[in-house]
Structure 1
Amino acid sequence: MKKIMIFLIFLMVAFCFANVEYSTEKSLIDISRESAIPIKKLKEVLQIEKDISNQKTLAELQIDSTKFVTGLQKYEETKSTFLRGIVLVGMLIVFISLSLVGFLIGQLQNLHLFERKKVSPKIDEKTHSNNEIAAMMTIYLHEKEAEQQNNLLVTWTRAPVNMWRASNVNNFPNNRYFKESK
């Protein structure tokens, strides 16, 4: 079974790399479809005038197969440069747009549009003793610790819920009958 699969894989690879024979009796449109070359580029590569009809065959245009094959090879060589150019232009556009967006976001940060004005508490001019300051700090730290503890309790514990009651499964029409029978 493995040998058959390997043979089939090699056979498919051979078909993929097989040379395609183009008949001189095919029209320019047919050749364009088979070779995936736009008609304008095909005319340019084969050095045909642009005014000539696309329905004419290679034999009518007096183009032999060697000239056609060299034209296809020339197109394949230049095709990669076209693709590289398109990819580079696309990457350049994306890079410039991303850097422009980053710059604009950085400038919006300097405008302070979304900042809230913080109200600072008024400080009494009266100086407090060390004992009073220690008591205030202790109360403040105790409140912060209690708040953090409550946040953890909300996060880690949940109220027990009876899912049957929550989804009202027990509220069916004959509910009274079952309650009375007990």
Structure 2
Amino acid sequence: MDLGCHQGQFLKKVISQFDVRGVGSDDWSESQKGPESISWEYFKADLDKELPWPMEVDVISAFEVLEHMIDTDGFLKRVFDKLRAGGYVLISTPNINSLRNRVTVPFGAYPVGLEYRNLIHHVRLYNAKLLARHLRDSGFIDIRVRGVSFLPLSGKFGATELSAKLANLMPALCNNILAIGRKP
């Protein structure tokens, strides 16, 4: 189940590589899903209030979703409840303690990822330690946190490879963080 699935880009990739049933949910109308999306099921929902799929699942991904939730405790409880025992959650979110913010905020810049207006609806921000603790407090175990996109560049002059190496070395400084947790 991919929460905040948009048009199913991640689901399509997973389904093409593994023999799995894909389910996505977002607040888009189903007409935006696209005609090539027959291989996965879509449910429109307000993820801050519900997870519409009635059955338990093995894996739930929520990439760049948690920062949009007003009730993060409720969201993580619903995710936990929807997973089968031994199931995994994958969550990515902007990192308020990124190197970019650490360098620019002391000089008066506003933190990247945070909003003073709700234009893209970021209402919560995490750092690596807080994300791990929130998952642990929500009942998840075997939590691992990794960095994503250490450098803002992509694909230029080997920056993608360098960014990945730096992200592995210093996840707490990355622009985004990815956490994986398991339901006992």
Greater per-residue strand proportion: 2
Greater per-residue helix proportion: 1
Scaled by the length of structure 1, what TM-score is found?
0.20
Computing the radius of gyration over CA atoms, which structure comes out larger, 1 or 2?
1
